[in-house]
Amino acid sequence: MRDFYNIIVVGGGHAGVEASFAAQKFGIDVALITRTADSIGRMSCNPSVGGLAKSRVVREVDAMGGIIGAAADMSAIQYRVLNRRKGPAVQATRAQCDRNGYERAVQKLLRENSTVEIVEDSVKALLWHGGKVVGVRLSAGTEIGADAVILTTGTFLGGKIFIGEKGFLAGRIGEDAEAGLSDSLKEMGLKLLRFKTGTPPRIDGRTVNYEKVQIQAGEKDYVPFSFETMNIMSVEQQKPCYITHTNEKTHDLIRENLLLSALYGGKIVGIGPRYCPSIEVKVEKFPQHKSHIVFLEPEGENSYELYPNGISNSLPEEIQIEMLHSISGLENVEMTRPGYAVEYDVIDPIQALPTLNIRAFDNLFLAGQILGTSGYEEAAGLGLLAGTNAALNVLQKKMITLPRHLSYIGVMVDDLVYRGADEPYRLLTGRAEYRLLLREDNAWLSVLEAIPKDVLKILSPNMHEKFIEWRDKMRNLTIFFDNKGFSRAEAEELHIANGTIAGKYLRRPDADWESVEAMFPKLAELNAVPAATFRVEMKYSGYIERQMRDVRQFEKMGSIEIPDDLDYFAIGLRREAFEKFNKFSPRNIGEASRIAGISPSDIAVLIGAIQKKFHNKQLG
Ligand SMILES: Cc1cc2nc3c(=O)[nH]c(=O)nc-3n(C[C@H](O)[C@H](O)[C@H](O)COP(=O)(O)OP(=O)(O)OC[C@H]3O[C@@H](n4cnc5c(N)ncnc54)[C@H](O)[C@@H]3O)c2cc1C
């Protein structure tokens, strides 16, 4: 361990791994300080990666040279494609992984492909001077200097676990909470919030009655998460999941014991995720639902433990056992570990900038759960961005931001820093206004557009040239088909008019792609990834163009700059708008309009004032 690094990343979870991996690619010294090296990349909850919106983040991270996609592929035991029959904007790949295998894969990828120095210790305080962080203090009081620090401490700051009426300090079951760091952050003047999340009990799969549950096999027709993964698993190589349901008996039991749960017994003050409620909340808030689905998901290739997805709770252990026994197929099941809720400190994300550094300390970056999110994918996406920007900051280069229409990471960052979080933030497709532009298949193309060439070359040297080649081939094919009329024989085979322009035909929803592919071997020149993108972009070109028009319109208005010397007080804004603009100092109309609580009429007042100022300047 040295006494100075360019960048110190605190915490080796999903955010810290991507942050340190991305940062070291810029040729600077990076230390990852984390409690124990063997918990790097640990999955705190369900060992699964992907799902709606999240799978696109995994592909964005992979396209930018990150780790999560490759690690998920290396440890996957089952793949499924959600919403296969629905439109491309909501299709999503989800992998069930081997919990230990995932951890091992992350550690291997980090160890073998990076210069990150791993330091096993706890960071107890940040060292700061004026508006700069200058280093960290470790558990034994040792101080290490840094040009920039990235905090990715997950659920550990002030972590407290609850199981029924029992409450004890911990960040994850079996791992101590972090006590000192929250105080240090408060001393720096940062505002902390208190959130909570939870996990279900685990069960012994050997004690499940499989005759009473429904099997859910894996799928073979999927695209792996990483662009570099070649192997496709057959259905036989994959492990099945199972489905069962809660019932009225389960719900009655939960209702009867509601006050014994930590959540309803008044023990927990932190706010939980609305979109991933515990079973107590589901039963209490939706009494009209007589049953809730429970997925029984394997914890690993050789593990007999199952993760009953859908029944996270903070009830006493004995009630958890009774609850499990009330569910079909689980009547005699053995609980291997109780479920629990965990409450922890997060830094209010509105204190951060879209580059993920803190407004008040421009070399302190945040990513993952500490920034108010929940989920491995969210943490990985933020980690990669924080690591990249911390490195660019250290090198005194322009930091990057990711536009909402090109990146779900961009959507998440924008939501967090301009709207804040009043509960653990999870990505959902509904959070994106340009969903059709944020599909799983085109993450590579978006990344190519979103990131400056020199930065992408550093982050993703293996893929950068390939993406350019794919994009150019797609462009050439579009030009070719837009200028190609079908011959009589071709038109007859496709049952269309002679001379029909191929590009027009391929944009029809009923186009027979298989026949066209057989007619034009050029199409087969595309690798499977750009081929899928090309197909969707042709088929949905009308809708995509409409969304792009909206993007351009918004960008045009959004790019109007707000003069630094505009006096918000003097232009007749509502009090809330005046306060928010003063607090966030938006650089342009786009940023101003995304701030929570700002209405279209506030924006109209702002534009009017900018126009007037411009006009007066011209006259003067
Ligand atoms: C009980 C529980 C249930 C969850 N349920 C879900 C769920 O259902 N779905 C979902 O998507 N997500 C869930 N999550 C969230 C998911 O696990 C996290 O969002 C994700 O792990 C966050 O990644 P991270 O990198 O921010 O932090 P973590 O993965 O928590 O990693 C933080 C790392 O920082 C280290 N650390 C902390 N403080 C210090 C310090 N001071 N010095 C050195 N090292 C430090 C820790 O040892 C750890 O290695 C759950 C989490 C928990 C704990």
pLDDT, tens digit (0-9, with 9 covering 90-100), for 399-432: 999 999 999 999 999 999 999 998 999 999 888 9
* 190 vs 164: which has the higher pLDDT: 190
Is the CB of 369 inside a 6 Å radius of any atom of ligand 1? yes
Rounded to two decimals, what is the model's pTM? 0.93
* Ligand 1 mean position, distance from CA 83 (Å): 28
Is the CB of 273 inside a 6 Å radius of any atom of ligand 1? no
* Ligand 1 mean position, distance from CA 328 (Å): 32
Quick one: tokens of 7? 């960048």
Which DSSP symbol is given to 396? Answer: T
pLDDT at site 592: 92
Please name the residue that has the structure tokens 């793949």.
Answer: 79
Task: Convert 243-271 to b/e letters by CB count within 10 Å (16 or more is b).
Answer: ebbbeeebbebbeebbebbbbbbebbebb
Is the CB of 195 inside a 6 Å radius of any atom of ligand 1? no
Is the CB of 313 inside a 6 Å radius of any atom of ligand 1? no
pLDDT at site 525: 80
Strand order in the sheet with 305-309: 214-216, 241-245, 293-298, 305-309, 202-204, 335-337
CA-nearest residue, atom 21 of ligand 1: 376
pLDDT at site 97: 98
Return the percent helix, strand and coil in the chain, to nearest 5.
45, 20, 35
Q: Are 478 and 503 in contact (CB under 8 A)?
A: yes
CA-nearest residue, atom 41 of ligand 1: 123
* Ligand 1 mean position, distance from CA 276 (Å): 16
Model confidence at 221: pLDDT above 70: yes
Structural domain boundaries of the chain? 4-156+344-457, 202-341, 462-552, 559-619
pLDDT digits (tens, 9 = 90+) for 541-575: 999 999 999 999 888 989 999 998 999 989 989 88
Can you tell me which atom of ligand 1 is nearest the CA of 124? 41
When the pLDDT of each residue in the chain is averaged and rounded to a whole number, the result is: 94
Q: Is 416 helix (H, G, I), strand (E, B) or coil?
A: helix
57, with CB counted inside 10 A (0-12, 13-18, 19+), is buried
* Ligand 1 mean position, distance from CA 212 (Å): 34
C-alpha torsion sign, points 77, 205, 374, 98: negative
CA-nearest residue, atom 4 of ligand 1: 45
pLDDT at site 583: 86
Q: Which helix (H) or strand (E) holds 58?
A: helix 54-63
Pick the CATH number of 202-341 from 1.10.3720.10, 3.90.25.10, 2.40.30.260, 3.30.200.20: 2.40.30.260
Is the CB of 153 inside a 6 Å radius of any atom of ligand 1? yes
Q: Which helix (H) or strand (E) holds 472?
A: helix 461-482
Q: Cα 355 vs. chain centroid, distance in angstroms?
A: 16
Mean pLDDT on 383-388: 98
Which DSSP symbol is given to 479? Answer: H
* Ligand 1 mean position, distance from CA 154 (Å): 4
pLDDT at site 262: 82
Please give the Cα distance from 606 to 151 (Å, whole number): 36
Is the CB of 107 inside a 6 Å radius of any atom of ligand 1? no
* Ligand 1 mean position, distance from CA 375 (Å): 8
Can you tell me which atom of ligand 1 is nearest the CA of 155? 30
CA distances from 359 to 278, 350, 354, 398 (A): 34, 9, 10, 16
Cβ atoms within 10 Å, residue 461: 11
pLDDT digits (tens, 9 = 90+) for 450-509: 999 999 999 999 899 999 999 999 999 999 999 999 999 999 999 999 889 999 999 998
Cβ atoms within 10 Å, residue 16: 31
Mean pLDDT on 93-110: 98
Q: Are 93 and 79 in contact (CB under 8 A)?
A: yes
pLDDT at site 147: 98
Which of 243, 251, 330 has its CA nearest to residue 290? 251
CA-nearest residue, atom 5 of ligand 1: 45
Residue 89: pLDDT band with limits 50, 70, 90: confident
* Ligand 1 mean position, distance from CA 159 (Å): 10
- The strand pairing partners of 203, in sequence order, are 306, 335
pLDDT digits (tens, 9 = 90+) for 250-259: 999 999 999 9
Mean pLDDT on 165-177: 88
Please give the Cα distance from 210 to 204 (Å, whole number): 12
Is the CB of 177 inside a 6 Å radius of any atom of ligand 1? no
Residue 619: pLDDT band with limits 50, 70, 90: low
Residue 620: pLDDT band with limits 50, 70, 90: low
Can you tell me which atom of ligand 1 is nearest the CA of 11? 34
pLDDT at site 270: 74
Residue 526: pLDDT band with limits 50, 70, 90: confident
**Fold category of 559-619 in CATH:** DNA polymerase; domain 1 (1.10.150)
Please give the Cα distance from 73 to 231 (Å, whole number): 9
Which of 195, 196, 155 has its CA nearest to residue 177? 155
CA distances from 368 to 48, 120, 346 (A): 17, 20, 10
Mean pLDDT on 328-345: 96
Q: Are 320 and 338 in contact (CB under 8 A)?
A: yes
pLDDT digits (tens, 9 = 90+) for 502-512: 999 999 989 99
* Ligand 1 mean position, distance from CA 44 (Å): 6
Can you tell me which atom of ligand 1 is nearest the CA of 154? 27
Task: Look up the CATH architecture of domain 4-156+344-457.
Answer: 3-Layer(bba) Sandwich (3.50)
Residue 109: pLDDT band with limits 50, 70, 90: very high
Is the CB of 178 inside a 6 Å radius of any atom of ligand 1? yes
CA-nearest residue, atom 27 of ligand 1: 154
Please name the residue that has the structure tokens 């911390």.
Answer: 390
Q: Are 526 and 481 in contact (CB under 8 A)?
A: no
Q: What are phi and psi of 488, to 5 degrees?
A: -55, -45
Q: What percent of the chain has pLDDT over 90?
A: 78
Please give the Cα distance from 78 to 94 (Å, whole number): 8
Which of 345, 346, 348, 321 has its CA nearest to residue 335? 321
Please give the Cα distance from 138 to 440 (Å, whole number): 41
* Ligand 1 mean position, distance from CA 423 (Å): 16
Is the CB of 197 inside a 6 Å radius of any atom of ligand 1? yes
CA-nearest residue, atom 13 of ligand 1: 375
